[in-house]
Structure 1
């Protein structure tokens, strides 16, 4: 009698499983399909890096040692972006924008002559270690830029909680170039006018007015690692050293 009861119980359990398993599997399949049904996603108000702030390290590729570059060069970029997802697959999108980019390169015991003279038609980097020099000295360039990116995001409905990658380029026009020195010192290292004394010289005639750079971003959510390499020379041909600026840093996206 006990054996008959056990057999009946096993038969009933098998029957229930046979009835419920296909239904559960079908439900899961429908949920998986709905998850990737891009036509039902509302992407109008999604945050996908419509505003970008980028900052980090700057330097020059191909710079000779005679330029005496020192310290940590840095950049700060800010862009407003318009993101356009693909209708067939909104994991992919194209973004275009506009904004400002800057670069600061620091030098040690150097004087940069940005204005031409009767004997010099190019920028001059003078070693002034044996004479008066600034304790802190930098060259700054500022551009108005238009970046464009091809973007991919794992979760198009919520990019702020998803892995993402973007490759692209940016073209810019230079609006400012200047050197800035702080705390003029004698060759012995003594301050001449005090540590608050600064001197600024603006001139951009030696620089290429247009720059083109390739870019890449890889990250998660609002934060990405960012890199850029300028493919056009910083200086006009014959007007300065043949250097290519590059940047590595952090990109923060919002909105």
Structure 2
């Protein structure tokens, strides 16, 4: 998916660059960027997943991510269709599991992904692992119509994240027979991040029209620390809304 996004962006960007050169040669008016839409606010939502993960640690259910960033935008002087975007914000992944218990409080060297589907112990009907990062995204942007911000837009870049918090949340405890435990909605929450890499680096890409685009990212760094478990590569695919 990411490779297709990058290939499409490069092709459209090259086409846009050729058109810009033709406009200059034809003596058309200079592009006025005084009222340019700079996409200072970026909101992203969609599907989160783990690649290169063994069955013993494979997520289940609808895992999702939510990111919001505040960005600055600096157009290139000689190529106003292109700009450099950079900023900061919060990125969060919610990875759901079915019949698994992820024990962040474990004292051993590796993070346990315990299969509780046939366990005689109690388990949770809903269980997720949430990670929250302070992200610093940087991207090269392309806009087919930089004066209005309408039309084709795309970007490729990187984002560096600093892990702020990691926790698991279990909801609705059930017994080994499937009976609901406790009278009301029961929630268990455990927080610890010593198994998880304190930083992440991911490649990013966007392609869309106007304020709405498809967005994707793929982590270059492993989710877990070396020796703490399988080499997991998180990815995101979803929708981005940009504006201001």
Q: TM-score, normalised by structure 1?
A: 0.82
1:46 offset after TM fit, Å?
1.9
Contact 1:68 1:108 in 2 (8 A): no
Secondary structure of 1:248's counterpart equals: strand
Superposition map of 1:126-141 within 5 A: 126-129=114-117, 130=119, 131-141=121-131
2:227 matches 1:233:
no
Pairwise CA distance, 1:195: 5.1
Larger Rg: 1
Q: CA RMSD in A?
A: 1.6
> What is the aligned counterpart of 2:165 among 173, 176, 185?
176
Q: Which sections of structure 1, spanning at least 5 residues, go unmatched? A: 1-28
Partner residue in 2 for 1:200: 189
TM-score, normalising length: structure 2: 0.86
- Relative to structure 1, the CA distance from residue 68 to residue 85 in structure 2 (aligned partners, 3 Å threshold; closer, same or farther) is closer
Equivalent position of 2:40 in the other structure = 50
By how many angstroms is 1:68 displaced? 4.4
User: 1 CA distance for matches of 2:142 and 2:166?
Assistant: 35
Residue equivalent to 1:124: 112
Give unpaired runs (5+ residues) of structure 2.
Answer: 1-22
Contact between 2:37 and 2:146, CA under 8 Å: does it hold in 1?
no
Residues in 2 aligned to 1:61 and 1:111: alpha-carbon distance in whole angstroms: 19
Pairing 1:144–2:134 present: yes
More helix by share: 1
Name the CA distance, whole Å, in 2 between partners of 1:189 and 1:116: 25
